[in-house]
């Protein structure tokens, strides 16, 4: 794995840990104020975000070293992983709301908060303060 791949991989680990913490906090708040069914839905929504991030981490770990052709292959490898992650995420959300009949609002709120954590932590990891 390239040096850039190592940095991204470490960033993904940080993001996963933050998403786990956000998911637990969201589920705890849902449990305290709304009950156990909503806490399960919130846990599921956060879990979907975790799976999406994990899939991204797997894709990053497969990026080959930069070769004579430059970065175009690495970028293509990352872009090729976007569609499957999107499909898996949509399918898991549909299963949670449609088939499992989980409460949609806590599920989507937890998913959105975990994704927001992804954006914030990855942004901090990529642009550390000097």
Residue of higher predicted confidence among 62 and 55: 55
pLDDT for the residue 74: 62
Task: Summarize pLDDT for 1-40 with one digit per residue, the tens.
Answer: 555 556 666 777 888 999 999 999 999 999 999 999 999 9
Task: Summarize pLDDT for 71-94 with one digit per residue, the tens.
Answer: 555 666 667 778 888 999 999 999
- Across the range 59-80, mean pLDDT stands at 62
The full 3-state SS of the chain, as one line of letters, equals CCHHHHHHHHHHHHHHHHHHHHHHHHHHHHHHHHCHHHHHHHHHHHHHHHHHHHHHHHHHHCCCCCECCECHHHHHHHHHCHHHHHHHHHHHHHHHHHHCCCCHHHHHHHHHHHHHHHHHHHHHHHCCCC
pLDDT at residue 125 is higher than 70: no
């Amino acid at each position: 794995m390239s040096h850039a791949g190592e940095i991204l991989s470490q960033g993904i680990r940080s993001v996963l840990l933050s998403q786990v913490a956000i998911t637990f906090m969201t589920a705890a708040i849902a449990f305290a104020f709304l009950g156990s069914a909503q806490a399960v839905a919130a846990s599921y929504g956060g879990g979907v975000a975790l799976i999406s991030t994990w899939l991204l981490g797997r894709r990053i770990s497969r990026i080959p070293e930069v070769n004579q052709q430059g970065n175009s292959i690495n970028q293509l490898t990352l872009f090729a992983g976007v569609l499957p992650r999107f499909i898996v995420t949509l399918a898991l959300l549909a299963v949670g709301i449609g088939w499992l009949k989980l409460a949609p609002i806590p599920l989507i709120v937890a998913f959105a908060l975990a994704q927001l954590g992804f954006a914030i932590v990855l942004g901090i990891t990529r642009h550390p303060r000097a």
